[in-house]
Amino acid sequence: MAAYDFDLFVIGGGSGGVRAGRVAASMGKRVAVAEEYRFGGTCVIRGCVPKKLFVYASSFPEHFEDAEGYGWQVGESTFDWKTLIANKDKEIARLEGLYQKGLSSNDATMFKSRAELVDQHTICLTATGETVTAEKIVIAVGGRPNPMSNLPGHELCISSNEAFHLEELPKSILIAGGGYIAVEFANIFHGLGVETTLIYRGTEILSKFDEDLRTNLQDAMIAKGINIQFEDVIEKVEKAAGNDLRVTTKNGDVSEYSQVMLALGRIANTESLGLEKVGVETNARGAIVVDEYNKTNIDNIYALGDVTDKVQLTPVAIHEAMCFIETVYKDNPTSPDHELIPTAVFSQPEIGTVGMTEAEAGKAFEELEVYRAQFRPMRHTLSGREEKMMMKLIVNAADRKVVGAHILGPDAGELAQVLGVTLKAGVTKDDFDRTMAVHPSASEELVTMYSPTYRVKNGERV
Q: Which residues are catalytic?
A: 439
CB 380, CB 447: distance < 8 Å: no
* 6 is an interface residue for ligand NDP by CB under 6 A: no
Among 112, 114, 201, 310, binds ligand NDP (CB under 6 A): 201
Among 193, 202, 279, 384, binds ligand NDP (CB under 6 A): 202
Among 263, 301, 407, 446, binds ligand NDP (CB under 6 A): 263
- Report the nearest approach of ligand NDP to the CB of residue 264 (Å): 4
Among 179, 336, 352, 355, binds ligand NDP (CB under 6 A): 179
Return the number of the residue (228 or 393) whose C-beta is nearest ligand NDP. 228
List, in order, residues 6 or more apart from 81 with CB less than 8 Å away: 166, 168, 169, 192
List, in order, residues 6 or more apart from 418 with CB less than 8 Å away: none
- Report the nearest approach of ligand NDP to the CB of residue 377 (Å): 21
* 178 is an interface residue for ligand NDP by CB under 6 A: yes
- Report the nearest approach of ligand NDP to the CB of residue 374 (Å): 23
Say how far apart CA 386 and CA 457 lie, in whole Å. Answer: 33
* 251 is an interface residue for ligand NDP by CB under 6 A: no
Candidate ranges 60-68, 166-174, 178-186, 189-197; the one touching ligand NDP (CB under 6 A): 178-186
User: If we measure between CA atoms, which residue out of 262, 298, 261, 263 comes closest to residue 282?
Assistant: 298
Give the residue nearest to ligand NDP (CB): 179
- Report the nearest approach of ligand NDP to the CB of residue 234 (Å): 8
* 43 is an interface residue for ligand NDP by CB under 6 A: no
User: If we measure between CA atoms, which residue out of 274, 305, 302, 299 comes closest to residue 290?
Assistant: 302
Q: Put the strands of the sheet holding 351-355 in their side by side order.
A: 343-345, 351-355, 401-408, 389-396, 367-375, 454-457, 460-461
Among 25, 57, 84, 182, binds ligand NDP (CB under 6 A): 182
Q: Which residues from 296-335 bind ligand NDP, rule CB under 6 A?
A: 312-313
Say how far apart CA 253 and CA 197 lie, in whole Å. Answer: 13
Pairing of strands 115-119, 172-176: unpaired
If DSSP codes are grouped into helix, strand and coil, which group holds residue 179? coil
* 341 is an interface residue for ligand NDP by CB under 6 A: no
Q: Which residues from 210-249 bind ligand NDP, rule CB under 6 A?
A: 233
The H or E element containing residue 232 is none
Candidate ranges 69-77, 196-204, 237-245, 321-329; the one touching ligand NDP (CB under 6 A): 196-204
Return the number of the residue (230 or 329) whose C-beta is nearest ligand NDP. 230
CA angle at residue 134 from 131 to 140, to 5 degrees?
Answer: 90
Q: Identify the burial level of 245 via C-beta atoms within 10 angstroms of its C-beta, where 0-12 means exposed, 13-18 middle and 19 or more buried.
A: buried
If DSSP codes are grouped into helix, strand and coil, which group holds residue 111? strand
Among 180, 189, 257, 302, binds ligand NDP (CB under 6 A): 180
Say how far apart CA 9 and CA 121 lie, in whole Å. Answer: 9
* 265 is an interface residue for ligand NDP by CB under 6 A: yes
Q: Which residues bind ligand NDP (CB under 6 A)?
A: 177-182, 184, 200-202, 207, 233, 263-266, 312-313, 343-346
